[in-house]
């Protein structure tokens, strides 16, 4: 990139539809048809611009574990952050100064859902509880609950988070409770998610089930740790975004 040339990410995102696509999937992983309905654009046009974003590494594809014919599109936070850091250095070194962010959260209620409530949702619950300093009331449940996986407990200890006292729960016990956010971390849970009172913001993170990995403990540990790292990052961005200006509600992008 020449010194006087605009960074490629600016050129890529100068297209309004590409920017809208990134904003839509920055909060929740979505399928092409959902993006088409959300943005009111033809499917072929949405697919074309998604491919452009994917080719640039800004978008990640996840094949649904519930229906292999479906593809979820999510934002590649690491790549975008890296590109913006390069842009900051190019424009002015002072933009890279590290400033510690401290957040104060309103008394929100958040529910994480997955199939067995044994790994992903349990880890997500632990991360959010600790990172929000327990300011956010955090819960997790499953459609077919199983005991908390021992490897999930081990890996979370590596992040200095103790979840050994957390218990698996059935989502049915929460059906009459209001939540501000319901976050599905499993494609199956998302595609069969029940309706909750209070019209919560529905978010989906398409994350593979680490309990489906068989083999040596080393292999299991590796996939569980990768899952924890993804949840760690997702929840950091979720917390930072709570005070942002844009949310996704009722399948529409709305401003606070």
Give pLDDT tens digits for 33-45. 999 999 999 999 9
Tell me, what's the pLDDT at 89?
A: 64
Q: Phi and psi of 215, rounded to 5°?
A: 125, -160
From the DSSP assignment, how many helices (H) and strands (E) are in the chain?
Answer: 9, 8
Full-model pTM: 0.78
Mean pLDDT of the chain: 86
Query: Is the Cα dihedral 137, 242, 246, 193 positive or negative?
Result: negative
Q: What pLDDT sits at residue 75?
A: 92
Residue ranges and CATH numbers for the domains of the chain are 8-98 (1.10.10.10), 109-249 (3.40.50.2300)
Q: What is the pLDDT of residues 154-186, one digit of tens each?
A: 999 999 999 999 999 999 999 999 999 999 999
Polymer length in residues for the chain: 256
Most confident of 84-93, 94-103, 129-138: 129-138
Alpha helices in 209-249 (DSSP H): 217-242
Q: Reply yes or no on whether 114 is catalytic.
A: yes
3-state secondary structure of 155: helix
Exactly one of 154, 193, 208, 226 is catalytic; name it.
Answer: 193
The set of residues, in sequence order, having a beta carbon less than 8 Å from that of 44 and lying 6+ positions away, is none
User: Which residues are CB-neighbours of 126 under 8 A, at least 6 positions away?
Assistant: 156, 161, 162, 163, 166
| pLDDT for residue 110 is more than 70 | yes
pLDDT at 117: 96
pLDDT band at 94 (very low <50, low <70, confident <90, very high): low
Contacts of 122 (CB under 8 A, 6+ apart): 140, 148, 149, 152, 163, 166, 168
In angstroms, the first-to-last Cα distance of the chain is 37
Percent of the chain at pLDDT > 90 equals: 61
Question: Bridge-partner residues for 71, per DSSP?
Answer: 63
Q: Which of 21, 38, 80, 114 is catalytic?
A: 114
- Structure token pair of residue 148: 């908390």
The per-residue pLDDT for 248 is 42
- The one catalytic residue in 156, 186, 189, 201 is 186
């Amino acid at each position: 990139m020449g010194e006087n040339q605009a960074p490629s990410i600016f050129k890529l995102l100068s297209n309004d539809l590409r920017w809208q696509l990134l904003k839509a999937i920055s909060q929740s992983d979505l399928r092409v048809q959902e993006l088409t309905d959300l943005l009111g654009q033809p499917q072929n046009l949405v697919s074309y611009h998604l491919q452009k974003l994917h080719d640039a590494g800004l978008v990640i594809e996840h094949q649904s574990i519930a229906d292999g014919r479906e593809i979820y599109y999510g934002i590649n936070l690491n790549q975008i952050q890296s590109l913006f850091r390069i842009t900051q250095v190019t424009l002015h070194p002072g933009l890279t100064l590290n400033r510690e962010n401290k957040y104060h959260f309103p008394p929100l209620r958040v529910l994480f859902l997955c199939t067995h409530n044994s790994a992903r949702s349990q880890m997500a619950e632990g991360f959010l509880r600790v990172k929000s300093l327990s300011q956010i009331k955090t819960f997790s449940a499953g459609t077919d609950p199983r005991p908390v996986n021992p490897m999930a407990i081990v890996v979370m200890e590596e992040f200095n988070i103790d979840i050994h006292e957390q218990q698996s729960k059935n989502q049915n016990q929460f059906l009459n409770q209001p939540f501000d956010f319901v976050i599905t971390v499993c494609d199956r849970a998302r595609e069969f998610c029940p309706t909750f009172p209070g019209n919560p913001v529905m978010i989906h993170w398409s994350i593979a089930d680490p309990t489906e990995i068989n083999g040596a403990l080393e292999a299991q540990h590796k996939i569980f740790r990768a899952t924890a790292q993804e949840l760690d990052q997702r929840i950091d961005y979720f917390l930072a975004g709570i005070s942002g200006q844009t949310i996704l509600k009722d399948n529409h992008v709305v401003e606070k």
